[in-house]
Structure formats: C-alpha cells, structure tokens
Amino acid sequence: MADLLVWQGDITTLSVDAIVNAANHTLLGGGGVDGAIHKAAGPQLLSACRRLNGCQTGEAKITPGYQLPAKWVIHTVGPIWQGGDQHEPQSLADCYRHSLMQAEDVGARTIAFPGISTGVYGFPKQQAAEIAVATVRHTLEAQALPEKVYFVCFSDSDTEIYQRLLRMN
C-alpha cells in the first residue's frame, strides 16, 4: 500500500514525479492552482494543453512538467458543487481515480494532489477530502504505482482536515 502524506505549501515546488492540476475544461490555464501551475511550468505547458482539446469533468489528461520540478502534470477537471445531487461526489472520485491511472501509466512513483474542486468550484472541503482519501486508498489497492501520494494543502485548516483523516486509518 502506498504512503499517504499531507504537505502544506506550493504544489509547484514539490519534487515528485507527477503533480495534479485542478484544471478547467479548456486546460488552457485559469486561476488558483491551475494558473500557478501554468505560470511555473512555462509557455510550453499551454502549447501542450492546446493539443489535448480540453477535458471532461472527472477525466484526466497528462503533459510533461516542463519547467516544474515534477516530470508530469496530470490535468483533471473537478465538478462544480451544485448541492451534491448532481453526481458531484462520483465525479470528484473519478478525478482521483483517473489521475492515479495516468500516473501508473507513465511509471510515476510519487504524485501530489491539490484539493480538487474546493476553490472557486465550491465543493465542501471536508467532504472533498473524505472522497479524496477514500478514493486514493481504494484505487491503490489494485495498483502498484504510485508508491507515495501527497495531499497538498495551502491553508492550516485544510492541512488539519487531511491530517485527521489520515490518522483515522
């Protein structure tokens, strides 16, 4: 079973094999984590993303990391929170599952996830973290890679949520 860890800071500075980008449907950059990743990776990332022709909610696509310490960027589009009865939990779980599958396909031993959909998309942070941890654990029961998963948090409160969840098991 993979090591699940919490790390607080800027995901663009982590030296891991793959980082996950909480992207929008166009994959052409935006605000928050998406904008920070595009800025840190350099203009080649935008060119690579243009060739991917967007991404649907719950799916994941991969590009090189270019100027990032990470070799790969896995772009996934999380659901916009609409109260929870529009399949948002299932779509969010799909983001984690498909990202882990992409990581395994390229042999990534380490991966870092931001809080997908918890920014402007409005997914409740506690529920999103529960889905993230449960989905990663379940998915990695059937996969050899990645071996180490980081849940990257920006705030103290987000970090506490993940630390509490990881201590539970």
Q: What is the pLDDT of residues 146-166, one digit of tens each?
A: 999 999 999 999 999 999 999
Q: What is the mean pLDDT of the chain?
A: 97
d(CA 25, CA 112): 20
Pair of tokens at residue 114: 């931001």
CATH value at residue 29 = 3.40.220.10
For residue 122, the enclosing domain spans 3-168
Mean pLDDT of 114-134: 97
CA 24 to chain centre: 12
Within the chain, residue ranges assigned H as helices are 32-41, 43-50, 88-105, 125-140, 156-168
Please give the pLDDT value at position 169. Answer: 64
Confidence (pTM): 0.97
Q: Which of 145, 161, 153, 139 is nearest to 111 (CA)?
A: 145
Domain total for the chain?
1
User: Active-site residues: which are they?
Assistant: 34
User: How would residue 57 be classed by pLDDT, with cut points 50, 70 and 90?
Assistant: very high
Mean pLDDT of 46-61: 97
Q: Is the dihedral of CA 45, 51, 52, 54 positive or negative?
A: positive
